[in-house]
Copies of this chain bind each other. A is one copy, B any other.
């Protein structure tokens, strides 16, 4: 096994993914060519195929990686505390996690239609897992009397839509700190389900 240390693949591989992430988020999957990605990395288009079997796999891998990270981080939040505590943790987590990776979030929401059917099913299923975590919190809160929600499924989608919307305008150099944004949204979410 030659070139184990100092191998370019350990540098080029991540760079391909970063370039693809940035370009897909900015221009859309279909509008970005493999040659554009290669130029961004500083390599010829053919070299990309050392790191992905094809363009579709590159998109899917980025989305799959993002969803796996999201679900793992959500799981690490734990299940302790009252439904209200858990909802607050979820709210703050969603905002901060998503604000840290706007490009991956953008792709994972906008490029679902660019996925081939079997890939789409996988990502869609992971998204449902995430939604179900929030729905569980809301149902527990309904059972304990902490929340008053007409329809927990709809409330779940409404809250997630509201929170994800932060990514369309939040900039870390902006008027509000992330902590302030979290507080404002937590106030709104709490009232929304109470």
Residues of A within 8 A of B (CB): 26-31, 110, 113-114, 150-151, 154-155, 157-162, 164-165, 168-169, 176, 181, 183-185, 187-188, 191-194
Contact = CB atoms under 8 A, between A and B. Distances in A.
Nearest to A28: B30
Given A113-B28, A192-B191, A157 B185 contact: no
A158 B188 contact: yes
Given A165-B161, A194-B191, A184 B31 contact: no
B157 A165 contact: yes
Give the interface centre of A114, A158, A164 by most chain B CB atoms within 10 Å.
Answer: A158
Number of copies of this protein chain within its complex: 2
Contact of A188 (B30, B155, B181, B185): B155
Nearest to A194: B191
Given A30-B30, A113-B26, A158 B150 contact: no
A181 B164 CA distance: 20
Contacts of A114: 28, 31
A183 B150 CA distance: 10
21 contacts: A26-B113, A27-B113, A28-B29, A28-B114, A30-B30, A30-B31, A150-B183, A150-B187, A151-B176, A154-B176, A154-B181, A154-B184, A158-B162, A158-B165, A158-B185, A160-B165, A161-B164, A161-B165, A162-B162, A162-B165, A192-B192
Contacts of A165: 157-158, 160-162
